[in-house]
Amino acid sequence: MYTLVNGFYKYLTKKEEYCVLILGLDNAGKTTYLEAAKTKFNKNYKGMNPAKITTTVGLNIGQIDIHGVTLVFWDLGGQQELQSLWDKYYQESHGIIYIIDSNDRDRMEDSKKVFDNMIRSDHLSGVPLLLLANKQDLPDVMGVREIKPVFQQAGVMIGRRDCLVMPVSALTGEGVDEGIRWLVDAIKRNSIVRPPREND
């Protein structure tokens, strides 16, 4: 009897699981963004002190539950030598968050090249894209109006997928929940093409 009840309980409580890549150059604020997302959506999660967040070497994994689904985030290191490993995760991903350091004008073209290289992968065809202009809490940063035209040059490669460009501050948390909620809706719309993983 226990097995039957336990099996029924698991069936009722299982959630669809979607994998989301967090990509961008090193120091764009990817890990800070992940921490902000976990803090906003996971009850009682305190989050890391932003001052103690160091450069990601490899991969950070985080998870949140929202709107009856589980999002598993893969925050991949953005250093040049680690970018070649990104494509190992493309095929299993259901969404992409690409984070731009709005305060780093000197590396904007580098970020654009890395973005172009990523978005042209066939393994990411049609996958929803959330493009975030991070560090909007700082003075004199590039706004979305300045950044959007730079990345719109990749319009052909972006194609007809769901795509949103928005300002965000991973440090203050401003814009984090709106972006995540948009991405969940976009991923659900795309689930016919990329069905969720089943999470027991």
137 known member of a binding site: yes
User: CA 170, CA 50: separation in Å to the nearest integer?
Assistant: 9
User: Any binding-site annotation on 30?
Assistant: yes
For residue 29, say whether it is annotated as part of any ligand binding site. yes
- From 149, 54, 160, 57, select the one nearest 108 (Cα to Cα): 149
Residue with tokens 């989301």: 20
54 in a known ligand binding site:
no
**26 annotated ligand-binding residue:** yes
Please give the DSSP secondary-structure letter assigned to residue 121.
-
Measured in whole angstroms, the distance separating CA 92 from the mean position of its chain's CA atoms is 14
Q: How far apart are CA 165 and CA 130, in angstroms?
A: 6
| Active site (catalytic) residues | 79
Is 70 assigned to a binding site? no
51 is in an annotated binding site: no
Annotated binding residues, written as ranges, equal 24-31, 56, 78, 134-137
Annotated binding residues for Mg(2+), written as ranges, equal 31, 56
Annotated binding residues for GTP, written as ranges, equal 24-31, 78, 134-137
